[in-house]
Amino acid sequence: MGLISKGSMAPLMLVLLLAFANIAVDAQLVPALIIMGDSAVDVGNNNYLPTLFKANYPPYGRDFTNHQPTGRFCNGKLATDITAETLGFTSFPPAYLSPQATGKNLLIGANFASAAAGYDDKTSFMNHAISLSQQLEYFQEYKKKLQSVDSKQAPSIIEGALYLVSAGSSDFFQNYYVNPLLNKVYTPDQYGGYLVGIFSNFVKQLYGLGARRIGVTSLPPLGCLPAARTLFGYHQKGCVANFNTDAQQFNKKLNAAATQLQKQLPGLKLAIFDIFNPIYDVVKSPSNYGFKEATRGCCGTGTVETTVFLCNEKSPGTCSNATEFVFWDAVHPSEAANRVLADSLIAQGISLIG
C-alpha cells in the first residue's frame, strides 16, 4: 500500500493487522519508547545544553500543545510523537535532561536525542550536542533509575521497549559538506562507510544493554532540504543531485549492515526505516499529499532559516498556515509532513511490534 496524502490508511492497516493477530489495540503496543539521535527526534534535551541548536522559543511549537515551544524543531509534533500516539501512548517519553524525566514518568521510556548529534562523535562535539556515546551512557543511567522505580517491571520494559534511532544527517550536512579537511580525506562513499561502521558498533552496544526491537531511520533526501538548495544548489533547479546520491549510497550500506547484524545477534529485530523515498515523493509531488510548497520552509523566507538566529519570532515572512508546507524551517519537516512520514514508519515497522 502506498502513501495516501495526509490521511494515509497506514495506522488503520496497523490496527487491522494487529486485530487479526489477536493483539489488543486499546493499550500501548509496546511498554516503552527509547529514542536516540538528532534534531528529527529531540524533544528538548538541547534546552539544557550550551549549544546554538535549540528550538525552545517561538515560532517553534506554535501548533503544539498549548502552542508552546518545547525544543522540538517543528511547528508541532515530530514523526516519533505521532508514532507514539498510534502505538497507544497518551503521553510522550520525556527528554532525559528535563525535570520531567523522573519517577513513574520513566516507565514509558525516555528520549535521549540531541539536535545536531551524529553517528560520528566529532560531529556532536563540534555542535555541542549529546554524542551517541553519551546517549548510551545516559541510557545505562536510565536503566538504574527504572530499576529503582519498579524493579519487577524494569527488565520486561527494557526488553519489550521499541528503540528508535535517527542519525546521519548532521554528519553529512553539518560536518562533511562544510569541513574541507574531512571531505579531502574521504569521498562521500568512504565517509558513509565510516559512519555505518559506527552504526554497527552502536547497535551492538545497545543490544548488549538489552535492546531487542530497534528501528533506525535512513538518511532523507539531503539535497531536497531547502537549506541545501540555497547553500549548495548553485542556482540549479530542483534538489542537489549529488547530495541525494550520497544519501542513497549510505542507505544501501546501512541496510546491508542491518542484515548482517540480525544474523549475528540472536533475537534482534532491526528495521531500517526508509524515509528517503517518502520525503522525496512528497517533495516531488506535493499536491498529491495536500501541500502547496515543497521548496522552502514556512519560517521566514524558508531558504536558510533554522535555530534562533534565523528562525525566530521576528523572522519576516513566516507563513500563517504550516499545513501547506512540507518543511517548517529550512531543514526540518512540518507537522503535516511528519504525519505522512509517521504513517510510513508505522507501515514499515509492523515487524518490530508483532
Give pLDDT tens digits for 113-122: 999 999 999 9
Q: What are phi and psi of 321, to 5 degrees?
A: -130, 95
Return the C-alpha cell found at 303: 531558504
Mean pLDDT for the stretch of residues 161-167: 98
Mean pLDDT for the stretch of residues 282-290: 97
User: Which of 225, 175, 244, 224 lies closest to 330 in space, CA to CA?
Assistant: 225
Is residue 343 domain-resident?
yes
CA–CA gap between residue 64 and residue 138 (Å, rounded): 27
Mean pLDDT for the stretch of residues 332-344: 97
Is residue 120 domain-resident?
yes
Instruction: Reply yes or no on whether the pLDDT at 144 is more than 60.
Output: yes
Is residue 324 domain-resident?
yes
* Better-predicted residue by pLDDT, 207 or 23: 207
Residue 333, classed as helix, strand or coil, is strand
Instruction: Reply yes or no on whether the pLDDT at 245 is more than 90.
Output: yes
Mean pLDDT for the stretch of residues 261-265: 97
pLDDT cut 70: percent of the chain above it: 92
For residue 20, the model assigns a pLDDT of 40
Reported as a pLDDT band with limits 50, 70 and 90, residue 27 is confident
Instruction: Reply yes or no on whether the pLDDT at 185 is more than 60.
Output: yes
CA–CA gap between residue 83 and residue 34 (Å, rounded): 13
Mean pLDDT for the stretch of residues 218-237: 92
Mean pLDDT for the stretch of residues 173-191: 95
User: Which of 323, 325, 326, 306 lies closest to 315 in space, CA to CA?
Assistant: 306
Handedness of CA 184, 186, 192, 196 (dihedral sign): negative
Looking at the whole model, is its pTM more than 0.85?
A: yes
Mean pLDDT for the stretch of residues 34-41: 98
Instruction: Reply yes or no on whether the pLDDT at 12 is more than 80.
Output: no
Instruction: Reply yes or no on whether the pLDDT at 240 is more than 80.
Output: yes
Domain of 312, CATH number, reads 3.40.50.1110
* Better-predicted residue by pLDDT, 4 or 147: 147
The shares of helix, strand and coil residues in the chain, as percent rounded to the nearest 5, are 45, 10, 45
CA–CA gap between residue 303 and residue 233 (Å, rounded): 11
Name beta bridge partners: 293: 325
Is residue 204 domain-resident?
yes
Instruction: Reply yes or no on whether the pLDDT at 8 is more than 70.
Output: no
Count structural domains, the chain: 1
Reported as a pLDDT band with limits 50, 70 and 90, residue 310 is confident
For residue 25, the model assigns a pLDDT of 47
Q: Which long-range contacts (CB under 8 A, 24 or more apart) does 220-224 make?
A: 220/169, 220/247, 220/275, 220/276, 220/279, 221/247, 221/276, 221/279, 221/280, 221/283, 222/169, 222/172, 222/173, 222/246, 222/247, 223/247, 224/279, 224/280, 224/283, 224/294
Does the active-site annotation cover 39? yes
Reported as a pLDDT band with limits 50, 70 and 90, residue 234 is confident
Mean pLDDT for the stretch of residues 31-39: 98
Which candidate in 8, 38, 39, 343 is catalytic? 39
Is residue 4 domain-resident?
no
User: Which of 28, 43, 38 lies closest to 77 in space, CA to CA?
Assistant: 43
Which candidate in 63, 131, 274, 332 is catalytic? 332
Is residue 82 domain-resident?
yes
List, as one string, the DSSP characters of 40-101: TT-SSGGGGSS-S----STTTTTTSGGG---S-SSSS--HHHHHHHHTT-SSPPPBTTSTTS
Is residue 46 domain-resident?
yes
Return the C-alpha cell found at 165: 534511532
Enclosing domain of residue 237: 10-353
Does the active-site annotation cover 128? no
328 within 8 A of 297, measured Cβ to Cβ: yes
Reported as a pLDDT band with limits 50, 70 and 90, residue 14 is low
Reported as a pLDDT band with limits 50, 70 and 90, residue 26 is low
* Better-predicted residue by pLDDT, 25 or 333: 333
Q: Please, which residues have CB within 8 angstroms of residue 105's CB and are 6 or more apart in sequence?
A: 94
Instruction: Reply yes or no on whether the pLDDT at 258 is more than 90.
Output: yes
Instruction: Reply yes or no on whether the pLDDT at 307 is more than 90.
Output: no
Is residue 312 domain-resident?
yes
Which candidate in 114, 329, 334, 344 is catalytic? 329
